[in-house]
Structure 1
Amino acid sequence: MLNRKELNPDSSPQAAFGARLRSSRVARGWKQDDLSALMGFSSGHISAVETARKLPTLRFSRSADSAFGMAGTADTFERAWREIRHGALLEGFPEYVGYEGRAAEIRVYEVGVIPGLLQTAEYAAAIEAGHVERGASTAEQAHERVSLVAERQAALVRNPPPLIHMVLDESCIRRPVGERDVMEDQLAKLIAFAKQPNVTLQVADFAMGVRRPFSLPITVLTMADRSLMSYAESATRGHLDRETNSVLPLLTAYHQLQKHALPQSGSMAMIELVRKGTS
């Protein structure tokens, strides 16, 4: 077994997780048996995670957050687990995904590509195959990202479901991705998704011109306690903003976007025409 001096928290995210778990336990004067009783995992399992001999799981991480009273805070063990699990992703994105899975309302504006929450597996795989072909990612990273698409979508199947507002720039539905059948199936999924009672889906057509308030993709989350946060990405990292004073103007702009975008009926008609190749 590794002792405390032998475990280097800087050697890997897994080691950092274990070192933090152990230091949090020791700071409270708990033995591994004490933490075992609180988490529902054996003391041997806890020891293996603390010494980086065993990977933490999502259930383990959430149990640790509950035991240490950290659930719902900004720096949870669940967040650390997601950074281990999704190491191939942009910095900041794993943290965002954790909030997305608990949000009461999700508002998304996307440009050029169908949002991950609405992607078919084949569409997602085609996008990632392009990244691999260009040398921008490895096959393993591509597989990780495609798997995450399914995980994110599954996290939204809950009771009650979140309210979802999607506004897609017209480029999202007109940009071909993969073979023709991949794009047809993807557009069919959009139409089916829009029929759900908790969903609003609109297209921001090119004719909107300067009335479009955003030039880049943006996501605004409303949590169960009505707090707001936004998420945006650069080429190298994601940024999660929890400051209400800066997020509220984005929410106002999003309402303006919805006002000028095509209504849902017109949006579905456009998507159907593109799917049939008649527009």
Structure 2
Amino acid sequence: MFGTGDRLERQGQAVRRTAILEGFPEYVSNEGRATEIRFFELGIVPGLLQTPEYASAITTGAVRRGAITEQQADERLALLAKRQASLERIPTPQVYAVLDESCIRRQVGDSRVMAAQLDRLVAFAELPSTVLQVASYDLGERRAFDLPLYVLTMPDRSLMSYAESAHKGHLERETAFVMPMLTAYHQLQAESCSQVESVALVNQARKGTR
């Protein structure tokens, strides 16, 4: 009746053809301009910090499960490479990463892949524009988030957040909704291990990959 049937069908087909969650492309376009990037991840090392081999192992697993096609896996890896390259822009964004301990304990790929990934985390922590923290298991119920979260500070100091479930992502621009997320993120940082302690945890996990 409203003449939207064909458009909605095309949109539905596009979603089924892509491996990228709704809302994520818009987030990525803003991430590439942000002056500060804050994120929390659990289960796997976040994309911005993944080595190519680790990222490939993740997508290969998804293909084997039938969750995505090989073409969609290539799409994910290409987008990830672009995101990582954008971090090298001038001026360099400040990046704050909090990883649940599960990210460094769960092996992805073989021991060589995992060892290289943990080495990558240590190298990331040594950069002048980054902060790496691990939210240890003993944080328990004090961990602020149960799903991945990203908070961006844009050049005009405006904020936006991005969160996702297994099937959908959501980009939020309203300050009234973003500020509580940022506050909770700061609380998570305060509760998490310091960068020195976090690097020690990563190195400890690294020994277990030999």
Q: TM-score, normalised by structure 2?
A: 0.91
Q: Which residue of 2 aligns with 1:214?
A: 145
Asked whether 1:225 is paired with 2:156, we answer yes
Correspondence for 2:109 among 170, 178, 189: 178
Asked whether 1:132 is paired with 2:63, we answer yes
Q: Whole-Å Cα distance in 1 between the matches of residues 203 and 166 of structure 2?
A: 32
Q: Which residue of 2 aligns with 1:234?
A: 165
Q: Whole-Å Cα distance in 1 between the matches of residues 8 and 99 of structure 2?
A: 41
Q: TM-score, normalised by structure 1?
A: 0.69
Asked whether 1:196 is paired with 2:116, we answer no
Deviation sequence 1:159-188 (CA, Å, 0-9, x none): 111110000000000011001100000000
Q: Which residue of 1 aligns with 2:174?
A: 243
Q: Whole-Å Cα distance in 2 between the matches of residues 102 and 123 of structure 1?
A: 26
Q: Whole-Å Cα distance in 2 between the matches of residues 87 and 101 of structure 1?
A: 21
Conserved 8 A contact 2:147-2:165: no
Q: Counterpart of 2:202 in 1: which secondary structure?
A: helix
Which AA in structure 2 matches 1:276? K
Shift of 1:10: 7.5
Deviation sequence 1:177-209 (CA, Å, 0-9, x none): 001100000000000011110100000000111
Q: Whole-Å Cα distance in 1 between the matches of residues 168 and 140 of structure 2?
A: 28
Deviation sequence 1:79-120 (CA, Å, 0-9, x none): xxxx89x94311111111000000010000001010000000
Deviation sequence 1:65-89 (CA, Å, 0-9, x none): xxxxxxxxxxxxxxxxxx89x9431
Q: Flag the structure with higher strand content.
A: 2
Q: Which residue of 2 aligns with 1:158?
A: 89
Q: How does 1:103-142 map to 2 (within 5 A)?
A: 103-142=34-73
Identity over aligned pairs, percent? 58
Shift of 1:9: 7.2
Shift of 1:12: 5.8
Q: Whole-Å Cα distance in 1 between the matches of residues 146 and 9 of structure 2?
A: 40
Shift of 1:217: 1.1
| Deviant stretches of 4+, over 6 Å | 8-11
Root-mean-square deviation (Å): 1.9
**Aligned residue pair count:** 201
Q: Whole-Å Cα distance in 1 between the matches of residues 21 and 42 of structure 2?
A: 18
Which AA in structure 2 matches 1:193? F
Q: Whole-Å Cα distance in 1 between the matches of residues 205 and 9 of structure 2?
A: 50
Q: Which residue of 2 aligns with 1:94?
A: 25
Extract unaligned runs of 5+ from structure 1: 1-7, 14-82
Q: Whole-Å Cα distance in 1 between the matches of residues 76 and 8 of structure 2?
A: 25
Which AA in structure 1 matches 2:27? Y
Q: Which residue of 1 aligns with 2:203?
A: 272
Q: Counterpart of 1:200 in 2: which secondary structure?
A: strand
Q: Whole-Å Cα distance in 1 between the matches of residues 63 and 123 of structure 2?
A: 30
Q: Counterpart of 2:25 in 1: which secondary structure?
A: helix
- Name the CA shift for 1:263/1:140 in 2 (closer, same or farther; >3 Å): same
Q: Whole-Å Cα distance in 1 between the matches of residues 89 and 43 of structure 2?
A: 29
Q: Whole-Å Cα distance in 1 between the matches of residues 103 and 66 of structure 2?
A: 23
Q: Whole-Å Cα distance in 1 between the matches of residues 152 and 24 of structure 2?
A: 14
Q: Which residue of 1 aligns with 2:183?
A: 252
Shift of 1:210: 1.8
